Amino acid sequence: SAKHHGKQTYRVFEPQLMEVIQRQRSLEAALRRASMRDEFRIVYQPVFCSAKGEITGAEALLRWTCPEHGEISPTEFIPIAEELGLVARIGADVLRKACKDAASWPAHIDLAVNVSPVQLLDPRLPQTVAQALADSGLSPSRLELEITETALLNNDEAALRTLTQIRDLGVRISLDDFGTGYSSLSYLHRFPISRIKIDKSFVQKLPDDVGSASIVRAIAQLGSSLSMKITAEGIETDSQLSFIKEHGCDEVQGFLTGRPIALADFLVLTGQQAENVEA
């Protein structure tokens, strides 16, 4: 009853909470306008073969500079885009643009693109991927989509169908942030996954943290017995790199070997374009 309700009312809107809510509202409004205003850009983080140190690919990472709030991390704006129903379109734009960029890279350099759990729920995703490949001319064998375990959790029948269709296009699937979610081994078996990316939270505690070292070793062994490739993410130090090399991770990605960079800089890195010559 109203009387009862009145008694139970208490004050939750602390000034700080109000600020958080206002920022959220404002970001939502700004995100709705962002695509139209061309505020997104993609940066590329190089991925290297750990044995030889040669570049094997790059991960496309989305960046948004909001006119009102400045640079916003994708860990903040992707969840908002998911809630607002914008992530399918933003994700399709990333795929289209990144495939177009990668089509002009040397053929041994692969492209990885992140796919949100909400995108994976959309049965039109395989068609979106096929279209991005067709428009760009990028070979499907050079594209890898990164998904997280969350995406497989509640809708595994639908996810399996969608991922199988994508696999049948010749595109690979990798499991990102491995070790942080539910890490059910049945996922690895049930879904067409060809790579595991070990989450940076473990890699960053190497080599001293015994627990993280064991987890990384175990994932590397698991990967090799399931014939999956392993990438270690978030390598920042030489000792982390040494550990990873010793324990059979195939590829490395981290600030030590290369930060995410603009396309033009990535082209310089891969030797496709001379660095600016002084006039």
Report the 10 Å Cβ neighbour count for 131: 15
Q: Is 119 in the site for Mg ion (CB under 5 A)?
A: no
Q: Is 236 in the site for ligand C2E (CB under 6 A)?
A: yes
For the CB of residue 184, give the shortest distance to ligand C2E in the complex, in Å. 19
Q: Is 251 in the site for Mg ion (CB under 5 A)?
A: no
| Residue 258 burial (10 A CB sphere; 0-12, 13-18, 19+) | buried
- Residue 151 backbone dihedrals phi, psi, to 5 degrees: -65, -20
Asked if residue 195 lies in contact with residue 228, where contact means CB atoms within 8 angstroms, the answer is yes
Q: Is 176 in the site for ligand C2E (CB under 6 A)?
A: yes
* Binding characters for ligand C2E, 243-262, by CB under 6 A (x = yes): ----------xxx----x--
Report the 10 Å Cβ neighbour count for 53: 11
Q: Is 234 in the site for ligand C2E (CB under 6 A)?
A: yes
For the CB of residue 8, give the shortest distance to ligand C2E in the complex, in Å. 39
Q: Is 62 in the site for ligand C2E (CB under 6 A)?
A: yes
Question: What DSSP designation does 191 have?
Answer: S
Binding span for ligand C2E by CB under 6 A among 30-38, 111-119, 120-128, 265-273: 111-119
CA 231 to chain centre: 13
Which residue lies nearer to ligand C2E by CB, 18 or 32?
A: 32
* Binding characters for ligand C2E, 191-210, by CB under 6 A (x = yes): ---------x----------
Q: Is 146 in the site for Mg ion (CB under 5 A)?
A: yes
State whether residue 55 is helix, strand or coil.
strand
Question: Which amino acid appears at position 227 of this protein?
Answer: S
Q: Choose among 170, 184, 172: nearest CA to 134.
A: 170
Site residues (vs Mg ion, CB under 5 A):
110, 114, 146, 176-177, 233
